[in-house]
Amino acid sequence: MSHAATHDHHDDHHGAPKNFFQRWCMSTNHKDIGTLYLVFALLMFFIGGSFAMVIRAELFKPGLQLVQPYFFNQMTTLHALVMIFGAIMPAFVGLGNWMIPLMVGAPDMALPRMNNLSFWILPFAFTLLLSTLFLPGGGPAGGWTMYPPLSLQSSSLAYVVFAVHLMGISSIMGAINIIATILNMRAPGMELLKMPVFVWSWLITAFLLIAVMPVLAGAVTMLLTDKYFGTNFFNPGGGGDPVLYQHIFWFFGHPEVYIMILPAFGIISEVIPTFARKPIFGYKAMVFAIASIAFLSFIVWAHHMFAVGLPMGAEIFFMYATMLIAVPTGVKVFNWVSTMWGGSMTFETPMLFAIAFVILFTIGGFSGLMLALVPADFQYHDTYFVVAHFHYVLVTGALFAIISATYYWLPKWSGRMYSEFWGKMHFWNSVIWVNVLFFPQHFLGLAGMPRRIPDYNVAFANFNMISSIGGFLFGASQLIFLGVLIHGVFFSKKKATDRVWEGAKGLEWTVPSPAPFHTFDVPPVIHDDELAHGHVND
Amino acid sequence: MTQPMTNHEIDGRRKGVRRTVTILVSVVVAFFLLSFVQIVMMK
């Protein structure tokens, strides 16, 4: 121990740069970059949400009301692309950036400059994507899956492909950074099986990103060369096959679904123990369940393609493999319930969103099981039942977890407490209207209403009207969230304590609130009592 | 409570980061190329 090193050769040790440009555009600080990601995700959430409002307004009544069908198709396509790549994924990366170094006792991310680049690629990618709306020919309208030959007819394909490449590069760099940080930058004594579940969930998610984002890049590159360079990867006229695109897209697309939900599992596994005042039930089982789900996500892709005419053996394999995912997912749900069981529970806003997550995500999981059944899927495929299913998974699942995490860690970030009253108002409005929005869509789908259409049979009118009312009010409820955030960050008079929540455990709660610009320049000593999940080896 | 790190440990971290990044970048390139190979072979 002769060369005790307390400095890491940086000259920026004391505080944030005063210059706005330097602080926010040239930042290498994980907390500032985390904030940038979160603000960007919030902006994209409202832009993607406004597209959803157009969709629901058009579907309020049968017949064409407000927009032309081609513009409607652009809205459904861009809503998905913006929400998936612009809102949900960057929000999780922002949370990871902020919290992973704090949770493992690292001074920053392993590659801080690359971290800056990962973020700053995104605004350019989305400017490129959204600019297509203002071009002659309009934006992409063939669905977010970009299936050929339809997507090849779009005049904006090159813009979309380049935007997707940029998003992919950003995600891959972010994933490399997270893996390098977790594997190399943990404080001595923070063994892998002592890490918080959120960190574990991100480690596994990052490996998924590394494996599948290059495949998406390959798929869209082939689309590009098919359209502009005379190749025939997916053109049957030249010996290609459009179904191959579907295989390769969903080899990316299904793990992508888990990329959007595994960090949510991690968040819920942090929030529930805090407000139940008990260590998480079955820590190791939780970690292994996440790893199992990640593995299974690679062998279920063709359940998105049951209706294209796969061989029977393949359909049966993909059906059973898909149903198998219910096992580790069930382990997680039962462990969350067991963590709450007998706990000394309180119901602050983050906990309310976490409980809503457990219940509503499970509903989304069950409708997923229904869709996994080949004969049933033949009926449900491409109907509103599928729309209801994945919105339960992604809105009441991923989005509710992100909101829960925001309320949970906001006092640590800003040093101020948000308004609990308005937080609860946000929760109750969200949870009521999101069900009014999406639950009737199950009935619409079962009755045969196809997805991605601007007009429909009058038989579907009532449920569509109810769904649209739910949509408008759910959208409006998110303005409460915006208000709570602005108040909680800038105006709240109530200062946050270091630990913030009585039952909170983990290294992030040992630093002051707001977290100083630099933390853990010298690694902390790890005490088992301080870990969220107690003594895991007992 | 903090625990100072030796220069040796800091060097170890640096090498570890470099090794991790090298391996992961190779995996990314391999998967990218694999997607083309897979399509060409299945055609």
Interchain proximity B2–A525, CB inside 8 Å: yes
**What per-residue confidence (pLDDT) applies to A7?**
43
Which residue of the set A32, A58, A226, A256 is catalytic? A256
Task: Decide if A312 touches B, using CB distance below 8 A.
Answer: no
Interchain proximity B5–A218, CB inside 8 Å: no
Count other C-beta atoms under 10 Å from residue A143's C-beta. 16
Q: Are strands B5-6 and A4-5 parallel, antiparallel or unpaired?
A: antiparallel
Residue A518 Cα, gap to closest chain B Cα (Å): 14
| CB contact set of A445 (below 8 Å; sequence gap of 6+) | A380, A383, A384, A385, A386, A387, A388, A451
Q: Report which DSSP code applies to A524.
A: B
Which residue of the set A144, A200, A301, A392 is catalytic? A144
Query: Does residue A527 have an active-site annotation?
Result: no
- Angle of CA points A166, A234, A156, to nearest 5°: 45
What are the chain B neighbours of A241 within 8 Å (beta carbons)?
42-43
Query: Does residue A256 have an active-site annotation?
Result: yes
- Angle of CA points A44, A45, A49, to nearest 5°: 115
Of A8, A176, A525, the CB nearest to B21: A176
Interface of B with A in 9-28 (CB under 8 A): 9-10, 13, 16-17, 20-21, 24-25, 27-28
Residue A415 Cα, gap to closest chain B Cα (Å): 22
Interchain proximity B42–A241, CB inside 8 Å: yes
Which residue of the set A200, A202, A250, A258 is catalytic? A258
**Domain A3-530 architecture:** Up-down Bundle (1.20)
Determine the residue type at A328: P
Q: Report which DSSP code applies to A1.
A: -
Which residue of the set A329, A349, A477, A492 is catalytic? A329
Of A4, A217, A239, the CB nearest to B4: A4
Q: Is the peptide bond before A149 cis (omega within 30 degrees of 0)?
A: yes
- Angle of CA points A323, A324, A329, to nearest 5°: 95
3-state helix, strand, coil in chain A (%, to 5): 70, 0, 30
Query: Does residue A329 have an active-site annotation?
Result: yes
Query: Does residue A530 have an active-site annotation?
Result: no
What are the chain A neighbours of B31 within 8 Å (beta carbons)?
210-212, 214-215, 218
**What per-residue confidence (pLDDT) applies to A14?**
63
Query: Does residue A404 have an active-site annotation?
Result: no
Of B10, B20, B39, the CB nearest to A183: B20
Q: Are the CB atoms for A358 and A397 separated by under 8 Å? A: no
**pLDDT of B42 over the 80 cut:** no
Please write down the long-range contacts of A128-133, taking CB distance under 8 Å and 24 or more positions apart.
A128/A159, A128/A162, A128/A163, A128/A166, A129/A78, A129/A81, A129/A82, A129/A159, A129/A160, A129/A163, A130/A47, A130/A78, A130/A82, A131/A159, A132/A156, A132/A159, A132/A160, A133/A74, A133/A78
**What per-residue confidence (pLDDT) applies to A515?**
95
Instruction: Output the pTM of the full model.
Output: 0.94
Which residue of the set A303, A381, A412, A533 is catalytic? A303
- Confidence band of B5 (pLDDT split at 50, 70, 90): confident
Give pLDDT tens digits along chain A (538 positions): 333 344 444 444 567 888 889 999 999 999 999 999 999 999 999 999 999 999 999 999 999 989 999 999 999 999 999 999 999 999 999 999 999 999 999 999 999 999 999 999 999 999 999 999 999 999 999 999 999 999 999 999 999 999 999 999 999 999 999 999 999 999 988 999 999 999 999 999 999 999 999 999 999 999 999 999 999 999 888 888 999 999 999 999 999 999 999 999 999 999 999 999 999 999 999 999 999 999 999 999 999 999 999 999 999 999 999 999 999 999 999 999 999 999 999 999 999 999 999 999 999 999 999 999 999 999 999 999 999 999 999 999 999 999 999 999 999 999 999 999 999 999 999 999 999 999 999 999 999 999 999 999 999 999 999 999 999 999 999 999 999 999 999 999 999 999 999 999 999 999 999 999 999 988 898 887 777 665 555 4
Query: Does residue A258 have an active-site annotation?
Result: yes
Query: Does residue A254 have an active-site annotation?
Result: yes
The SS3 call for residue A76 is helix
Task: Decide if A483 touches B, using CB distance below 8 A.
Answer: no
Query: Does residue A303 have an active-site annotation?
Result: yes
As a whole-number percent, the residues of chain B with pLDDT over 90 amount to 40
Whether the CA torsion A268, A270, A273, A276 is positive or negative: it is negative
Nearest C-alpha neighbor of A119 from the set A101, A98, A139: A98
3-state helix, strand, coil in chain B (%, to 5): 85, 5, 10
Q: Are the CB atoms for A90 and A69 separated by under 8 Å? A: no
Nearest C-alpha neighbor of A144 from the set A86, A194, A198, A77: A77
Interchain proximity B4–A5, CB inside 8 Å: yes
Task: Decide if A434 touches B, using CB distance below 8 A.
Answer: no
The SS3 call for residue A465 is helix
In B, minimum Cα distance to A223 occurs at: B36
Residue in A9, A109, A248 to test binding to B, most B beta-carbons within 10 Å: A248
Q: Are the CB atoms for A195 and A143 separated by under 8 Å? A: no
Residue B29 Cα, gap to closest chain A Cα (Å): 7
| Domain coordinates in residue numbering, chain A | 3-530
Interchain proximity A244–B42, CB inside 8 Å: yes
Q: Which two tokens stand for residue A441?
A: 């869509």
Name the burial class of residue A100, with classes exposed (0-12), middle (13-18) and buried (19+) by CB atoms within 10 angstroms of its CB: buried
**What per-residue confidence (pLDDT) applies to A537?**
52
Interchain proximity A2–B33, CB inside 8 Å: no
Task: Decide if A117 touches B, using CB distance below 8 A.
Answer: no
Query: Does residue A304 have an active-site annotation?
Result: yes
Q: Are the CB atoms for A504 and A497 separated by under 8 Å? A: no
